[in-house]
Amino acid sequence: MAFLAPLFGGGLFAGTALASLASLGGFGTLALRLGASLLLSAASRALMPGPTLPARTVTVREAVAPRDMVYGRARKGGVIIYISEAGPKRQYLHLVVVLAAHRVAGIGAVYFDGEAAVDASGVALGRWAGLVTVEKRLGTDDQTGFDGLIAALPEAWTTAHRLRGCAAIHLRLQADQDAFPGGIPAISVDVQGKNDIYDPRSDTFAYSENPALCLADYMAHARFGLGAAIGASDGINTEALIEAANICDEAVSLAAGGSELRYSCNGVVSLAENPKTIIEAMLTAMAGRVANSGGQWRLHAGAYRMPTFGLTQDHAREGGLTLSTRISAAQNFNGVRGQFISPENDWQPDDFPAYVSEVYRAEDGGEEKWRDIALPFTQSATTAQRLAKIELERARRQMSIRFAGKLSAWAVQVGDTVALTYDRWGMAAKPYEVIEARLDLATSGDGPQLLPELVLRETSPLVYDWDASEAAIYAAAPRSTLPSAFNVAPPGSPEIAESLYITRDGAGVKAAVLVSWRASDSGYVAQYQVESRMVDSLGSALGSGAWTNHGRTDATAMEIRDIAPGFWEFRVKALTVLGVSSPWSVTVKEVLALTAPPAALAGVTLQTAGGMAILKWTRSADLDVRIGGNIVIRHSQAPSATWASSQSFDIVAGSDAIAVVPLLPGTYLLRARDSSGVLGEVVSLSTTGAQALAFAPVMALTAEPDFDGVKSGTVAIDGALSLDAVTPFDDWPDVDVVTSFDRVGGTVSSGSFTFASGMDFGALRRVRLRSHILLSAAGVLDDLDARSEAIDLWPDFDGSLEAEVDAVIEARSTPDDPSGSPIWSDWGRIDSHEISARGIEARAHLSTRDPVWVPLVSQLRLYADEVA
């Protein structure tokens, strides 16, 4: 059955006033009006409230939500009917979103917060890549459940959950602060709507954007619409539907070239609205009208129809014509403006170029009067302008006639165009549109009669006339120029500066680095996050490769304390107020930490006084030298010496800035050594050793060139005294692999040499003992193939500059005859020493810190002098 039962051949769409004949009490002055009137589009109603286009791109989560129907193309939200977490760490969020209460032609791209997140083929884009998957179901009767959801949550979503007859998607979102800073995003989807729309012209069911066919589909829907079947006696008139569909499919030329369909229907029907509201909204897409006449619905698209019937005075009752020439000033307007759904504006409502008539404005005394309309099923700016012109031209044809006719006038139907001829008013076949047709139960001299009463509104072919040149250029509303809160510019590359600090817990000196960076250019940055990990010299991660998170800061620098030496990879990213991260800015830096060599001592001076050398310097600037470190002093008889060719002389605390040592001719060499044993650069001073008092030689002990004394761990080779080998000749494994025939496996770390003879002054004598040593270093296990570092990193080619070898002379004395049974003093180191003795015995002590290097002593002497 149709939505409204036919009554006496005509039915009102709404508000029919039908009183029981028994209640009339008589027919003298009462009339019962029965018939049909046009149901106009919402845009065509004379008194229309301010237009609103409801939000269609919002996905909601409600226990009870109205269903939607989609006609044509639309970007819309849906209803979340299922939501659940899954995964071993509950890192996945599963959503089922129903988009339409029927089968659709296609489901396209998915948008999160208005930004494309998944393309039409199902590939996640941008910051959502790898984090989002989608499954689609078009709403067919035989569709299956979502395979991914069934696999993830088999107890909650089974194969029986098929959502047959509903177009829906299943989204799986993987937790990620950058991708989903605000939780579940606003979801919208491109949908190609209903695809089982009946077209009586081809007797087929298919997808269509034809407004007449879409409206007929809704009205014919037994569940959601009126149940007015197409072609049924109480349904939709087929001939009128075909005429309207053909009008909608006509081509209209465009100013830029090409053409578009005269009318198209693209939009969403919310079944929360009542049918009248829905039909009026869909009629806006084709400037259409619909009426129920004779029990059938007749659909009319906006177009001029040639008159099909001629009305004259002969069809009217006496005095039956009433003329209204104008509508009220409050209802009149000379321009039409409004909104349509603009794909160019992200499918949001936007203003179409207003249509205004200067002629009509002049007629209204120059006053601008606007009619505001809403076109929720229109997506073309030029179509919107054509519809606006039709609205204006219809309204400016203001002449209307109430035609009380004879029964012969009942031949016309609502929606017909008639040609009215009425000589008294000078009308000759003037076209009028029948907008109402009623039967009056009227009284006359012959008694009650059912006679027609028509309402006519003037029309003209000019109402629907359009030239492409009339179209104004549409430009989508300008987009916001605010920076995106989701596209965050990275900060500058991290810069690393090292420093040392003293711990409060007594652990001594430790290293720290200050990581700094240039601020991100993004305007929404609230914090920065800093991370680090150890890498090799090529930048490859060591161990598990895990990053250490050092926290966040709102500054552009962060200090990292207690850092170990080695190569480090540092990275920093910006985070917005929403928690969205920028890409990482990364740098690799070698951190020397406590392995960094101390700076060379500054301000080194030498003063002499009474046979002593007073060495002074500016206190070391390195914290790990001042705390736990020391100053190493060496000496060489040579006027130009290296660290390897000098002998140890003294060691003072790293916090000191002065040392008093014996005055000897030659070179003093000073280096700072930190708490880790790392030596700084060498600073050297040369002196002649001149003193105020003159000394004369008394006696001397000379070991070179044969070094005939007693050796323990030492050996004389080629006129030089050195340390002995670790491995004897008999224990050599293979002569071919021996790098040094003299010292297989390296050398011993220390050894001694005792002079073959001592000194006997013949009597107790006051003398100055002075050692004289010429020292150098040689490598015994060093060859080019064994070196793993690049040649640019070698401190010197033969490697001896940094060798730390040593040789000192020790002596003991006695006041007795050394050839008898003397009592000897303890052994003591001799650099420059004044004693009173008769006999002297001497020995040398050789050592090396690294068995790769050996000391070579070419001169080993002890001098005894006295004041001249």
Banded pLDDT at 673 (limits 50, 70, 90) = very high
Question: How much is the pTM?
Answer: 0.67
Which residues are within 8 A (CB) of 674 and not within 5 positions of it... i.e. 6 or more apart? 594, 597, 598, 622, 624, 625, 628, 629, 654, 680
Mean pLDDT, the chain, integer: 86
Query: What are the DSSP calls for 581-646, one per residue?
Result: BPPPEEEEEEE-GGGSPPPPP-S-EEEEETTEEEEE-PPPS-HHHHTT-EEEEEEESSSS--STTS
| Angle, alpha carbons 693-699-703 (nearest 5°) | 120
Domains of the chain: 27-36+223-260+272-475 (no CATH), 73-194 (no CATH), 495-593 (2.60.40.10), 605-687 (2.60.40.10), 695-867 (no CATH)
Average pLDDT of span 126-147: 96
pLDDT for the residue 47: 35
341 within 8 A of 53, measured Cβ to Cβ: yes
Q: For 811, what's the count of Cα atoms within 13 Å in the CB-facing half-sphere?
A: 28
Asked whether residue 25 carries a pLDDT value surpassing 60, the answer given is no
Q: Which residue has the higher pLDDT, 430 or 744?
A: 430
Average pLDDT of span 699-726: 92
Closest CA to 442 of 9, 862, 5, 24: 24
pLDDT for the residue 12: 29
Total count of residues recorded for the chain: 868
In angstroms, rounded to a whole number, what is the distance separating the alpha carbons of residues 184 and 59? Answer: 10
The amino acid sitting at 136 is: K
The amino acid sitting at 64 is: V
Asked whether residue 669 carries a pLDDT value surpassing 90, the answer given is yes
647 within 8 A of 565, measured Cβ to Cβ: no
In angstroms, rounded to a whole number, what is the distance separating the alpha carbons of residues 537 and 588? Answer: 9
pLDDT for the residue 50: 44
Lowest mean pLDDT across 53-62, 268-277, 365-374: 53-62
Banded pLDDT at 421 (limits 50, 70, 90) = very high
Asked whether residue 60 carries a pLDDT value surpassing 80, the answer given is no
pLDDT digits (tens, 9 = 90+) for 502-533: 887 666 788 899 999 999 998 889 999 999 99
3-state secondary structure of 243: helix
- pLDDT > 70: percent of the chain: 87
Can you tell me which residue has the tokens 């007929």?
216
Q: Which residue has the higher pLDDT, 817 or 444?
A: 817
Rounded to whole angstroms, what are the CA distances from 303 to 112, 372, 433, 434, 464?
Answer: 41, 22, 12, 14, 6
184 within 8 A of 167, measured Cβ to Cβ: no
Taking each continuous run of H as one helix and of E as one strand, the counts in the chain are 8, 54
Average pLDDT of span 676-694: 86
Closest CA to 536 of 560, 569, 498, 503: 569
Q: Which residue has the higher pLDDT, 372 or 747?
A: 372
pLDDT for the residue 439: 85
In angstroms, rounded to a whole number, what is the distance separating the alpha carbons of residues 288 and 42? Answer: 10
Tokens of 397: 């044809």
Quote helix, strand, coil % in the chain, to nearest 5: 15, 40, 45
pLDDT digits (tens, 9 = 90+) for 212-231: 999 999 999 999 999 999 99
pLDDT for the residue 268: 96
Average pLDDT of span 236-245: 96
Asked whether residue 796 carries a pLDDT value surpassing 80, the answer given is no
Banded pLDDT at 444 (limits 50, 70, 90) = low
As beta bridge partners, residue 323 has 401
Asked whether residue 798 carries a pLDDT value surpassing 60, the answer given is no
Closest CA to 262 of 301, 305, 231: 301
pLDDT digits (tens, 9 = 90+) for 172-200: 999 998 889 888 999 999 999 999 999 99
pLDDT for the residue 6: 28
In angstroms, rounded to a whole number, what is the distance separating the alpha carbons of residues 798 and 789? Answer: 14
Closest CA to 283 of 244, 310, 317: 244
Rounded to whole angstroms, what are the CA distances from 504 to 507, 509, 653, 702?
Answer: 7, 10, 21, 55
Asked whether residue 5 carries a pLDDT value surpassing 60, the answer given is no
pLDDT for the residue 398: 87
Asked whether residue 42 carries a pLDDT value surpassing 60, the answer given is no
